[in-house]
Structure 1
Amino acid sequence: MLEFNKRTNTLEQNQYKYSLQDVSEPNLYRDIYNYDEIPKCAFNHRRVPMAPPDEIWITDTTFRDGQQSRAPYTVEQIVTLFDFLHRLGGPKGKIRQSEFFLYSDKDKEAVYKCMERGYEFPEVTSWIRATKKDFLLAKEMGMKESGFLVSCSDYHIFKKLHMTRKQALDHYMSIIKEAIDVGIKPRCHFEDITRADFYGFVVPFAIELRKLMEESGVPIKIRACDTLGYGVFFPGAALPRSVPGIIYGLRHYAGFPSELIEWHGHNDFYKAVANSSTAWMYGASSVNCSLLGIGERTGNTPLEAMVIEYAQLRGTTDGMDTTVITEIAEYYEKELGYAIPPRTPFVGKHFNVTQAGIHADGILKDEEIYNIFNTSKLLKRPIGVAITQTSGLAGIALWVNNNFGLEGSKKLDKKDERIAKIKDWVDQQYQSGRTTSISDDEMMEAVKMLAPDIFDLAL
């Protein structure tokens, strides 16, 4: 049977109907996931079309998944970070939602205080156990939407829940109906989707959700959870690991619109950011992230990374205030005592700091040569230099100009005799056996001792 697809403006075959495959033995994809070996990435060379939605956005799980892997935030810290998310997301609400636990008195207080802010974005949503009691709790607390687990791989269905696929589907559907009955919009977390039988369980389950959505008139979201970070973004990769295949399948075969599809990734194989961007490009409107990527095991997709990805893909920040990223990083280090690895993109102390003399020489001529973008303007992070035995005259001149704010005619050239004196001192440090970089405080003392008139230039 043929029908005209208004999304693609083409005639398409409509004979692909997927029903539940209620197997007696779990499909664990042992050819891909042999537990004693590194997982394999299989290809079938089937490519699906990119279909970026009209609108894409970010959702936050800092206070849910992010809080499962660190000391709990205080209420005051949660409210402060929530304020940061509001400012970072900008007036168009590019950070659309933030999810919270609802169980302890502290959880509830944090939810109420964040809701009292009166922000349209991020919307406060919850994550609860899949029980009627918890749905009623969410409703009582003013939640319009709540997420809960509906695990979809046979690893979870057979080995964790001790159910068959039909039993799991029936159980999930009864829970989702209960949520709708009490007035909660369900967000279904398809846990472990990258190890699930996509056409034997995921699509049939999603089709049942779509039918319920059409009957009830209540929107139901699917969060595709790459629980162990197995997803891959390569064109032609086979399911269940293919991110393009998962998003395409939810849209094309299950009939879910982009705005009801969300990707939740983990970074176990260093692919969290790339997979999240791929989900956007193939039709998911939403990607779920946490601040600094803090989350279970290797963490979630870093929210700040997806802010930058958004700007790269759309050519605009759409009102997002990227300078807040630096404020967030400083808050984590100074107020929360969280040590950010110094070379972490966008937030680490050394992400835009050069140590190589040849790079410093280029930066002296024009910082655009070796800086990824105008980090001073976009992140309030001027390009930096760390002094080592390889910094050379150019590196020292760059350090002096940056740290003393010397611009225009006051800017020192690497051929300046004062720079040469400081370089001689630096060389002596390493000739004496030093192996570490020289701190800013040590450099200041060296300037004071060897070229004190530089301080006058900064006035």
Structure 2
Amino acid sequence: MENRKVYLDKHTNLLQLEEHMYPLVDVDTPNVFRNLFHYDEIPKIAFNDRIVPHSMPDEIWITDTTFRDGQQSRAPYSTDQIVTIFDYMHRLGGSQGKIRQSEFFLYSKKDRDAVYKCMERGYKFPEVTSWIRANKKDFELVKDLGMKETGILVSCSDYHIFYKLKMTRREAMEHYLSVIRECLETGVSPRCHLEDITRSDIYGFVIPFCLELMHLMEEYQIPVKIRVCDTMGYGVNYPGAVIPRSIPGIIYGLRVHAGVPSELIEFHGHNDFYKAVNNSTTAWLYGACGVNCSLFGIGERTGNTPLEAMIFEYAQLRGTLDGMDTTVITELAEYYEKEIGYQIPPRTPFVGKNFNVTRAGIHADGLLKNEEIYNVFDTGKFLNRPPLVAVSNTSGLAGIAHWINTYYHLKNEKQVDKNSILVVELKKWVDAEYESGRVTVLTDQELIREIERICDEKGITI
């Protein structure tokens, strides 16, 4: 006890007593937490009510995996599409670079061409980084391209170590450390992707491994980043939940017991249990500076943490966007639908076609009187998408006029009112639809078609 160091914690400004060291716990048989993850049962969330403190870093940011994990579940992007999306990402992240990095594959010529073109843009942010196989040839490729950092897969659960790699924990650790050392020898900073961390033995393998990584960082004086990969989406944000499912517990352990600085911790979530956004926010709250995301959540299986979601999480936590241009989110959604052909589910928050469309008659009435009543924030200002009221038998002339003005972005003297010929004629058609027995709301396509017909017949220009 007397030999344990007392130090000042920079987040709490309280003196802390250095924790005990955590040696590797080598085991003969894998610990797969069968009490929590019984394959023929739904996974269990258990609690021990051990609470760890919030430790929000001074600065937090977003990193992007749209061109890496985001490409593993869809047809590959063309080189031109990657460069265009990268340009959008640069504008979206703003001058303060809140979208800090974007990671790329380097396997194919197309991938490398995209990397060259993105690097030629000369942007400080997002920094172009890579994900490679752990071998000398790929390390040299990263160095030749002028990249400072690369991601390397270091799976950390016994599911992967024993069943996939066919190794013991000690063999896996020694293999990983030799690979990381090889990377450091080339002068490249490794980003260690701790795959399947939410089914791993945190204090028997992850913490001892990360302690060794910190020793390597000290030896080579090159940053070693830790990516906390909730590969299967098992992570939970509930206070007092047990590890390995506890995101607060994992982040706390890395920071306090493995000594990993917040700026070198990054969380990568998946959405298998609808928790990717909450878990990413939780990682920020408990001490990770970075959260890794993909545009619109496109990624393996149920997808990654949606990048656009974390921008609005950032604003809610910090009270500012710090220079991020959220209107670019709408431009990206339109680009994906029109140029790439990707159909965003219509109820997707912030980007779906219907995310701020009101259909219920009583809600529509309130929205028309004051849009604050039924809109989450000024979506016209932040997303260039004013709220819409869907047209139905309860809309009335005012509701139809509101739909036309918002859908066509009509301003000032160009706006129509409830006495406009267009509105009156469209109302007649709407009434006829419901008098004939219709019970569903009218689609945008139907309304556009009828508006075009009325405009042609009456010589009206919108």
- Per the shorter chain, which TM-score range? over 0.9
Give the Cα–Cα distance (whole angstroms) in 2 for the partners of residues 454 and 89 of structure 1: 46
Alignment partner, residue 104 of structure 1? 108
Alignment partner, residue 255 of structure 2? 251
Determine which of 221, 236, 241 is the counterpart of 1:237: 241
Alignment partner, residue 272 of structure 1? 276
Give the Cα–Cα distance (whole angstroms) in 2 for the partners of residues 234 and 40 of structure 1: 13
Letter aligned with residue 258 of structure 1: S
Residues 1:6 and 2:22 are matched in the alignment: no
Do 2:7 and 2:18's aligned partners in 1 also have CA atoms closer than 8 Å? no
Give the Cα–Cα distance (whole angstroms) in 2 for the partners of residues 233 and 407 of structure 1: 47
Q: Secondary structure at the match of 1:284?
A: coil
Alignment partner, residue 306 of structure 1? 310
Give the Cα–Cα distance (whole angstroms) in 2 for the partners of residues 220 and 455 of structure 1: 67
1:438 CA drift (Å): 2.0
Alignment partner, residue 412 of structure 1? 417
1:433 CA drift (Å): 3.4
Q: Secondary structure at the match of 1:127?
A: strand
1:446 CA drift (Å): 5.3
Alignment partner, residue 117 of structure 1? 121
Q: Residues 71-129 of structure 1: CA distance to partner in whole angstroms, max 9, x if unpaired?
A: 01111001001101101011111111111111111111111111110111111111001
Determine which of 334, 338, 347 is the counterpart of 2:338: 334
Q: Residues 315-341 of structure 1: CA distance to partner in whole angstroms, max 9, x if unpaired?
A: 111111111001100010000000100
Worse-superposed segment, 138-147 or 336-345: 138-147
Worse-superposed segment, 282-291 or 377-386: 377-386
Give the Cα–Cα distance (whole angstroms) in 2 for the partners of residues 410 and 150 of structure 1: 59
Say if 1:145 and 1:418 are closer, same or farther in 2 by CA, change over 3 A.
closer
Work out the percentage of aligned pairs sharing the same amino acid.
65
Q: Secondary structure at the match of 1:100?
A: strand
Q: Secondary structure at the match of 1:388?
A: coil
Q: Residues 409-436 of structure 1: CA distance to partner in whole angstroms, max 9, x if unpaired?
A: 97636x9999677545424313323354
Q: Secondary structure at the match of 1:55?
A: coil
Determine which of 49, 53, 57 is the counterpart of 1:53: 57
Q: May I ask how many residue pairs the two structures share in their alignment?
A: 457
1:454 CA drift (Å): 10
Q: Residues 327-376 of structure 1: CA distance to partner in whole angstroms, max 9, x if unpaired?
A: 10001000000010011011111111111121111121111111111111
1:238 CA drift (Å): 0.8
Say if 1:25 and 1:346 are closer, same or farther in 2 by CA, change over 3 A.
same
Determine which of 164, 178, 196 is the counterpart of 2:182: 178
Do 1:357 and 1:395's aligned partners in 2 also have CA atoms closer than 8 Å? no
Letter aligned with residue 14 of structure 2: T
Letter aligned with residue 310 of structure 2: M
Q: Secondary structure at the match of 1:199?
A: helix
Q: Secondary structure at the match of 2:150?
A: strand
Do 1:361 and 1:394's aligned partners in 2 also have CA atoms closer than 8 Å? no
Residues 1:80 and 2:90 are matched in the alignment: no
Letter aligned with residue 224 of structure 2: I
Do 2:9 and 2:15's aligned partners in 1 also have CA atoms closer than 8 Å? no
Map of 1:384-399 to 2, 5 A cutoff? 384-392=388-396, 395-399=399-403
Q: Residues 357-412 of structure 1: CA distance to partner in whole angstroms, max 9, x if unpaired?
A: 21111121111111111111111112112223454555334224434636599763
Letter aligned with residue 186 of structure 1: P
Segments of 5+ residues of structure 1 without an aligned counterpart are none
1:190 CA drift (Å): 0.3
Residues 1:379 and 2:383 are matched in the alignment: yes
Do 1:97 and 1:121's aligned partners in 2 also have CA atoms closer than 8 Å? yes
Q: Residues 164-207 of structure 1: CA distance to partner in whole angstroms, max 9, x if unpaired?
A: 00000000000000000011100000000000000000000011
Do 2:63 and 2:99's aligned partners in 1 also have CA atoms closer than 8 Å? yes
1:287 CA drift (Å): 0.4
Determine which of 159, 162, 186 is the counterpart of 1:158: 162
Letter aligned with residue 25 of structure 2: Q
Give the Cα–Cα distance (whole angstroms) in 2 for the partners of residues 385 and 119 of structure 1: 40
1:141 CA drift (Å): 1.6
Determine which of 168, 180, 184 is the counterpart of 2:172: 168
Segments of 5+ residues of structure 2 without an aligned counterpart are none
Worse-superposed segment, 327-336 or 212-221: 212-221
Give the Cα–Cα distance (whole angstroms) in 2 for the partners of residues 359 and 424 of structure 1: 23
Letter aligned with residue 283 of structure 1: G
Do 1:355 and 1:395's aligned partners in 2 also have CA atoms closer than 8 Å? no
Q: Secondary structure at the match of 1:171?
A: helix
Residues 1:26 and 2:30 are matched in the alignment: yes
Alignment partner, residue 193 of structure 2? 189
Determine which of 348, 353, 356 is the counterpart of 1:349: 353
1:157 CA drift (Å): 0.3
Letter aligned with residue 412 of structure 1: D
After TM superposition, what 4+ stretches of structure 1 lie above 4 angstroms from structure 2? 406-411, 415-424, 444-456
Do 1:79 and 1:113's aligned partners in 2 also have CA atoms closer than 8 Å? yes
Give the Cα–Cα distance (whole angstroms) in 2 for the partners of residues 454 and 352 of structure 1: 31
Residues 1:129 and 2:133 are matched in the alignment: yes
Worse-superposed segment, 385-394 or 52-61: 385-394
Alignment partner, residue 433 of structure 2? 429
Q: Secondary structure at the match of 1:59?
A: strand
Letter aligned with residue 332 of structure 2: I
Do 1:203 and 1:253's aligned partners in 2 also have CA atoms closer than 8 Å? yes
Do 1:193 and 1:225's aligned partners in 2 also have CA atoms closer than 8 Å? yes
Do 1:360 and 1:394's aligned partners in 2 also have CA atoms closer than 8 Å? no
1:62 CA drift (Å): 0.7
Root-mean-square deviation over aligned CA pairs: 2.4
Determine which of 138, 144, 151 is the counterpart of 1:147: 151
Alignment partner, residue 285 of structure 2? 281
Map of 1:34-53 to 2, 5 A cutoff? 34-53=38-57
Alignment partner, residue 324 of structure 2? 320
1:218 CA drift (Å): 1.0
Say if 1:455 and 1:271 are closer, same or farther in 2 by CA, change over 3 A.
farther
Give the Cα–Cα distance (whole angstroms) in 1 for the partners of residues 364 and 152 of structure 2: 51
Residues 1:361 and 2:365 are matched in the alignment: yes
Give the Cα–Cα distance (whole angstroms) in 2 for the partners of residues 233 and 313 of structure 1: 16
